[in-house]
Amino acid sequence: MDNLGQSLRDAIKKIANASHVDQKLIKEVVRDVQRALLQADVNVKLVLSMTKELESRALTEKPPAGMSSREHVIRIVYEELVKILGKPKEIPAKPQRILMVGLYGQGKTTTTGKIGRDLQKRGMKVGLVAADVHRPAAYDQLSQIGKKLNIPVFGDPKEKNAVKIAKRALKEFQGFDVVIFDTSGRHALEDDLIREIEDVAKTVDAEQKILVLDAQTGQQAGPQAKAFHEAVGLTGVVITKLDGTAKGGGALSAVAETGAPICYIGVGEHLEDIERFDPDRFISRLLGMGDIKSLIEAASEVMDEEKAEEAARKMMSGRFTLKEMYDQMEMLQGMGPLKKIAAMMPGLSDKLKDQDMEATQERLRRFRVIMDSMTEQELEDPRLIKSSRVVRIARGSGTSPKEVRELLKQYNMSKRAMKGFMGNRKMRRQLMKQFKGADLASKEG
Ligand SMILES: Nc1nc2c(ncn2[C@@H]2O[C@H](COP(=O)(O)OP(=O)(O)OP(=O)(O)O)[C@@H](O)[C@H]2O)c(=O)[nH]1
Ligand SMILES: [Mg+2]
């Protein structure tokens, strides 16, 4: 399971959901990230230096203009994770031997074909070698791939010695630019199979030694990569099956453990389903940045079209109770196009300036608490709330009668403002246009 991705996403969500970012939250999130990476067997030293950097940046750097502190801290986590992956490495289009290694079923044979195809397209004369002598159908599988790509394949299903196959292949493919060796899947703890890959590696003396890693590999990725690294000295990693649901958190451990960069990702079963590795995109996906973005947007009360229409309908109907006021205030803050409307509304405009957002939020929290102590009837018809009820509501909500009256005063002001506003035809038309505006769902600037 991809625990790393999940726990990193949880840490990020903590920031996205926070009402505000403070030192305590940052320290907590740094600890979460640290724990997540350590549990995924990412090298301890690396984790400590990464999280130290993360903490110091998050605590000291000011968010750039237009970015909330939430987004800013998430951005820093993201950047520091991208740093771990380092620069991607491209396998150059030049004469070389490439050795593919990895556990069972990770996609070695498929990736052998994919890389062969890529280098062939880049002008190389390529040969593929079926050096998997353990799985009976391995030769046939690679032969079929070779046929599809029009790339020659060397192998001998009767030969059970991988080193002998490798030697014969080197002779067979003399004069070829690139020779790619597909090898048997093996467990890093199987000594005899590890010895076999060491021998094949010595024989082939490959420029590229590529670990093929299934995106689903979680915590095991670190130790596995390390074992292969010790056996053959990895120069690159390919993460496969990123077209599935797995986010590939293990990649981070594999790269951190071996220092071998990721060169490609596999994104499907077909031979053209291979892409150059893009660290930014990879980490975005690992962290679920798409979701995070919407989380942040939801947190800053950006309203979707449906909600806008509902609000417009209510406003047009002239209905305006405490509930509507609360909803409205909540909607109005942090929204682009509606902020413009708010600016036109007396009584609301002064509450909605950016620098007042925090205060408004706090005010809304108080209002919510107070309103939770009101009856349904009172919410629908605030005129019912006379002084004895004010006292009861204040007591019930742990606030003061003064605060309750403040809420009522705010309500009466808004109601008056709303009435005047709705009585003005020009303004009403403008409001309707705003509500229907195509850019309504998008956050302004
Ligand atoms: N969806 C998807 N499937 C993949 C990808 N790469 C490989 N596969 C599939 O994964 C399965 C195993 O792939 P192989 O290439 O045979 O894996 P292997 O590492 O050679 O397996 P062994 O030789 O048995 O160790 C096959 O069904 C492939 O089609 C990928 O990027 N995406
Ligand atoms: Mg295979």
Residue 271: nearest ligand to its CA?
A: 1
CA 98 vs CA 138, 140, 177, 236, 420: distances in Å: 18, 20, 11, 10, 77
Specify the pLDDT at position 84: 87
Specify the pLDDT at position 98: 98
What is the reported pTM?
A: 0.66
Helix and strand element counts for the chain (H, E): 20, 8
Q: Is 248 in the pocket of ligand 1 (CB under 6 A)?
A: no
**Residue 336 β-bridge partners:** none
Report which of residues 262 and 354 the model is more confident about: 262
Which helix (H) or strand (E) segment is 236 a member of? strand 236-240
Specify the pLDDT at position 436: 52
Read off the pLDDT band of 430 (50, 70, 90). low
User: Does residue 342 contact residue 332 with C-beta atoms inside 8 Å?
Assistant: yes
Separation of CA 106 and ligand 2 centre (Å): 8
Across the range 113-133, mean pLDDT stands at 97
Task: Single out the residue of 61, 67, 74, 70 nearest to residue 445, CA to CA.
Answer: 67
Q: Looking at the predicted structure, is the pLDDT value of residue 107 above 90?
A: yes
CA 94 vs CA 176, 205, 215, 263, 283: distances in Å: 11, 16, 28, 15, 30
Read off the pLDDT band of 187 (50, 70, 90). confident
Q: Looking at the predicted structure, is the pLDDT value of residue 439 above 60?
A: no
Ligand 1: atom nearest CA of 265 is 31
Specify the pLDDT at position 444: 35
**Residue 275 β-bridge partners:** 265
Across the range 39-52, mean pLDDT stands at 85
Report which of residues 338 and 291 the model is more confident about: 291
Q: Looking at the predicted structure, is the pLDDT value of residue 344 above 90?
A: no
Ligand 1: atom nearest CA of 141 is 16
Read off the pLDDT of residues 144-184 as tens digits, 9 standing for 90 and up: 999 999 999 999 999 999 999 999 999 999 999 999 999 99
Read off the pLDDT band of 353 (50, 70, 90). low
Q: Where are the alpha helices (DSSP H) in 40-68?
A: 44-60
**What residue owns the CA closest to ligand 1's atom 26?**
107
User: Does residue 151 contact residue 128 with C-beta atoms inside 8 Å?
Assistant: yes
Separation of CA 107 and ligand 1 centre (Å): 3
77-96 residues labelled b (16+ CB within 10 A) or e (exposed) = bbebbbebbeebbebeeeeb
Separation of CA 382 and ligand 2 centre (Å): 73
Q: Is 102 in the pocket of ligand 1 (CB under 6 A)?
A: yes
Q: Is 109 in the pocket of ligand 1 (CB under 6 A)?
A: yes
Lowest mean pLDDT among 72-86, 110-124, 331-345: 331-345
Helices 44-60 and 69-85: angle between axes, nearest 10 degrees: 150
Give the C-alpha separation, 209 to 233, whole Å: 7
Read off the pLDDT of residues 212-266 as tens digits, 9 standing for 90 and up: 999 988 778 888 899 999 999 999 999 999 988 887 888 888 888 898 999 999 9
- Do strands 153-154 and 126-131 pair parallel, antiparallel, or not at all (unpaired)? parallel
Read off the pLDDT band of 20 (50, 70, 90). confident
* Sheet containing 126-131, strands listed edge to edge, beginning at the edge strand earlier in sequence: 153-154, 126-131, 178-183, 96-101, 208-214, 236-240, 262-266, 274-276
Ligand 1: atom nearest CA of 267 is 31
Specify the pLDDT at position 302: 38
Specify the pLDDT at position 438: 36
Separation of CA 182 and ligand 2 centre (Å): 7
Substitution site in 109, 128, 183 for ligand 1 pocket (most atoms within 8 Å of beta carbon): 109
φ, ψ of residue 118 to 5 degrees: the values are -60, -45
Q: What percent of the chain has pLDDT over 90?
A: 44
Q: Where are the alpha helices (DSSP H) in 18-130?
A: 23-39, 44-60, 69-85, 108-121
